[in-house]
Chain A
Amino acid sequence: MIVEIGHYALVLALALSVIQTVLPFWGARARDASLMGIGPVAAVGVFVCVAIAFGALTWAYVTSDFTVRNVVENSHSLKPLLFRITGLWGNHEGSMLLWVLVVALFGALLAVARNMAPGVLRADALAVQGLISLAFLTFLVSVSNPFARVAAPPAEGQDLNPILQDIGLAIHPPLLYVGYVGFSLVFAFAAAALIGGRIDAIWARAVRPWCLIAWVFLTLGIAMGSYWAYYELGWGGFWFWDPVENASFMPWLSGTALLHSILVMEKRDALKVWTILLAIMTFSLSLLGAFLVRSGVLTSVHTFATDPGRGLFILAILVFFIGGGFALFAWRAPLLKTGGLFAPISREGALVVNNLLLATACATVFIGTLYPLALEGLTGDKISVGPPFYDATFVPLAMALLLLIPFGQALAWKRGDLADAVSRLLFVMGVSIVVCLAIVFIQRGGPVLAVIGLWLGIFVFVGGANEILSRSWKRGVPLSVILRRAAGLPRSAWGSAVAHAGVGVCVIGLAAQAWSIETLATVRPGQPAIVGPYEVVLTDSFSRQVANYREDVARFHVLRGGAVIRTVDASKRFFPARNTSTTEAGISTIGFGQVYVAPGDAGEHGLGVRLYWKPWVLLIWIGAIIAAIGGALSFSDRRLRVGAPTRGRRKDMAATNVPAIATVAAQ
């Protein structure tokens, strides 16, 4: 019964999304406030219905209802509760349901967040968001129904891919989807601006909070996915330049560029056409990611049971929105009044360079990801493009960008003074060079590229800190005043400083991996293996039965200078339901570094292990989290100001959109 309610709610959501698409759009054209007023109601309705559907499927998973095909294929009654719930999106249908839930969530948030955007713009954006819901709901209901029943229900389910039975599945996909799909609303705003033919600072102000939310979640989603891959796949790597990873990284790069260009648009009323284009591109890349990952074009742990019909359907959605977005752009963009040009040496000039480098870096990732697919389609040759390609293309561009971050931050809006910026950065450069040399000296040298990377990371980090320092510190001023001044700086200034410092921390972590150590060893109990400054000794091995798997555990002691400092368990798990085993690496955190023990096969010579010492590896993810915190800080500033526009500005808006604005404001 509950499953039928879920299915029914999904169909109802589909019907409501048609209303959400048509009525506000019509109302905006006819300047009919009551029609436009239906948009928010319908958007909330779509969200409630999808949430009911989602709840119903969750119920089926929690109660192990093996009459539902989706549950049969991806669950097992012995699975712990958390993994029974997360198994919902560990498969094709369920993950698309989660996707739709987030699309509807953003529609509902826009509907609830009043005063965030002028009336016509909001109505059109809701309509476009409704169209996106409509497309994916049609997909779910027609070819990817998560509520399909099986004729002969089995007694037991087939269990979830063991690699996905991990806390990572509870964290990574929801964060990533909020990020991916958050850009759908930015796209909706861009399309709405093109339909309305009006973009200005008000548009930028309305869109920036959404862009920030999406960016924060995408950053966290990618970082958590990377950490998950790091500890679960047992190769000690955290980024493989796998097409699936690139699929999430491209919208991130483009979204980061968008975040910066919106700023220029808001402050200087420039880069308008480019910003709209970036908004369309970012969501297009999100859709491309969804297509690459879900259609079965690429094979990876993310590819669930593939079905060509579904791939084609997603391709159709992709073509419709990307094609539609760009067609709208080609048709309307020439009519938009372009903003003025500005001095090259200025904050906005630096942001243009930022956009140029980010967009180009994104393009190199795009080529590396899609070229193999294109080549195979054209010639049948199968190639793989791996880390060496990105090291040679993406990395130099990223390094140039990192080098320029502190300079951009030090330049003033409108008319910057390069000499002044450089003189302000002399301190930052000095500090970063000294710190970097000290680290390299302690490490007794290292590869040149890694030293440069390390310096860049420190430079960006100190540059971020200097942002706050230079605005609050003055010689002879007492510390209490400095602290009060720093605390009084706008949240967005803190946000930008913290986000850039986070990028710096992440880069330090990445560069430090050049000093990581990898050893392959065959160990017997009591026989130590050396990895970097540590010794690892196998002390014990035993088997145990846990929930739905059996586990062979090898227990190791980590020693430094003969003293045991950590105990770490590495294991092999065997899942009988799928006749599959997984390896759980033993990871022991020492400071910001980690000793990583990946167990192999036990043979007559002993147990094979791969040992890593990864100095400062945690900084990679800590940096990403710091950057996300920076984004959140910036968001909290926006909300205060956007929520309460000044009287003068409202009058100004009302003058152009009289009937619409008046009614929305009166609501």
Chain B
Amino acid sequence: MTRKKRRLLLIGSAVAVLSVALGLVLFAMRDTIVFFYGPTELAQKNIQPGSRLRIGGLVKEGSVERLASQQVRFAITDSNADVRVSYAGLLPDLFREGQGVVAEGVLQPDRTFVADKVLAKHDERYMPREVADALKKQGVWQGGETAGAARP
């Protein structure tokens, strides 16, 4: 095999692998990406039921209902709009009323949300960033992100 042919083979295989990878990435980008919305955005944007989403905000005070067989219902609010969420499973430790939460799942035709994953903060000092941004948009953010550090 000549030097030129070898070089062509090398470049050719590199191009082939990269284009396969690019194809996979573009294909995956279309189907696997999950958008994040706050309750107000969800109400404003006309999002098709059945699509997979993440929604985030605060767990509305007094909205948490625990039903039998690990079913939980609660509302996510940004004080302007609410989304009713139902979820089957264990809630994270820091899931509390009035605290930030992110739920991932599917929007139903009746505009409620069936979550299959509920994420809360890892630490009481921080708010999930998306939630903080969504709350800032609604003007209910009090800037408590560094509240812990402000303590003596």
Contact = CB atoms under 8 A, between A and B. Distances in A.
Nearest to B6: A341
A377 interface: no
Contacts of A72: 152
Interface string A287-299: 0000000000011
Interface residues of A, number: 62
Contact of B130 (A303, A382, A600): A382
Contact of A601 (B1, B9, B91, B122): B91
B7, B36, B70, B152 — most chain A CB neighbours (10 Å): B70
A158 B27 contact: no
A133 B28 CA distance: 40
Contact of B126 (A303, A381, A599): A303
A300 interface: yes
A609 B89 CA distance: 9
Contact of B36 (A382, A391, A520): A382
Nearest to A161: B123
Contacts of B13: 353, 356
Interface of A, secondary structure class, is mixed
B54 A301 contact: no
A521 to B, nearest CB: 8
A589 interface: no
A603 interface: yes
Contacts of A582: 93
B123 A360 contact: no
Nearest to A572: B93
Interface string A557-573: 00000000000000010
A389 B32 contact: yes
A352 interface: yes
Nearest to B21: A360
A392 B35 contact: no
Interface in A359-389: 360-361, 363-364, 367, 371, 381-386, 388-389
Contacts of B32: 385-386, 388-389, 391-392
B70 to A, nearest CB: 5
A414 interface: no
Nearest to A69: B149
A643 interface: no
Contact of B70 (A344, A371, A522): A522
Contacts of B124: 578-580
A392 B21 contact: no
Interface in B49-104: 54, 66, 68-70, 88-91, 93-94, 104
A603 B149 CA distance: 35
Contacts of B1: 343-344
A305 interface: yes
Contact of B129 (A73, A150, A299, A601): A299
Given A73-B149, A341-B3, A610-B90, A388 B9 contact: no
Given A163-B122, A306-B145, A388 B31 contact: yes
Contacts of A521: 70
A18 to B, nearest CB: 32
A608 interface: yes
Contacts of B17: 356-357, 360, 397
Given A364-B21, A386-B34, A163 B90 contact: no
B6 A344 contact: yes
A356 B9 CA distance: 13
Nearest to B4: A341
A605 B69 CA distance: 8
A522 B68 contact: yes
Interface in B1-38: 1, 3, 6-7, 9-10, 13-14, 17-18, 21, 24-25, 27-29, 31-37
Interface in A407-451: none
Contact of B89 (A150, A301, A383, A610): A610
Contacts of B6: 341-344
Nearest to B128: A299
A356 B149 contact: no
A264 to B, nearest CB: 13
Interface in B115-152: 122-126, 128-130, 133, 145-146, 148-149, 151-152
Contacts, number: 134
Contacts of B54: 382, 384
Contacts of A341: 3, 6-7, 10
A414 to B, nearest CB: 13
A396 B24 contact: yes
Contacts of B29: 371, 389
Nearest to A301: B122
B126 A356 contact: no
Contacts of B133: 382
Contacts of A547: none
A384 B36 contact: yes
Interface string A610-631: 1000000000000000000000
B146 A305 contact: yes
A280 to B, nearest CB: 19
Interface in A147-169: 150, 152, 154, 158, 161, 163
Interface string A525-568: 00000000000000000000000000000000000000000000
Given A154-B152, A299-B126, A344-B9, A382 B35 contact: yes
A393 interface: yes
Nearest to B102: A384
Contacts of A572: 93
B7, B10, B35, B123 — most chain A CB neighbours (10 Å): B123
Nearest to A581: B93
A581 B92 CA distance: 10
B82 to A, nearest CB: 19
Given A342-B6, A579-B124, A305 B36 contact: no
B93 A580 contact: yes
B13, B125, B145 — most chain A CB neighbours (10 Å): B125
Given A386-B34, A389-B28, A520 B152 contact: no
A583 interface: yes
Contacts of A234: 90
Contacts of A342: 6
B3 to A, nearest CB: 6
Interface of A: 72-73, 150, 152, 154, 158, 161, 163, 234, 298-301, 303, 305-306, 341-344, 352-353, 356-357, 360-361, 363-364, 367, 371, 381-386, 388-389, 391-393, 396-397, 520-522, 572, 578-583, 598-601, 603, 605, 608-610
Q: Which 10 A-B pairs have the closest CB atoms?
A: A600-B90, A388-B32, A382-B36, A392-B28, A301-B122, A389-B32, A299-B129, A393-B24, A360-B21, A341-B6
13 contacts: A73-B149, A158-B148, A299-B128, A300-B122, A305-B148, A344-B1, A382-B130, A393-B25, A520-B88, A580-B93, A600-B91, A603-B66, A605-B69
Given A356-B14, A578-B124, 6 more contacts: A341-B10, A364-B21, A367-B25, A382-B36, A396-B24, A520-B69
Interface of B: 1, 3, 6-7, 9-10, 13-14, 17-18, 21, 24-25, 27-29, 31-37, 54, 66, 68-70, 88-91, 93-94, 104, 122-126, 128-130, 133, 145-146, 148-149, 151-152
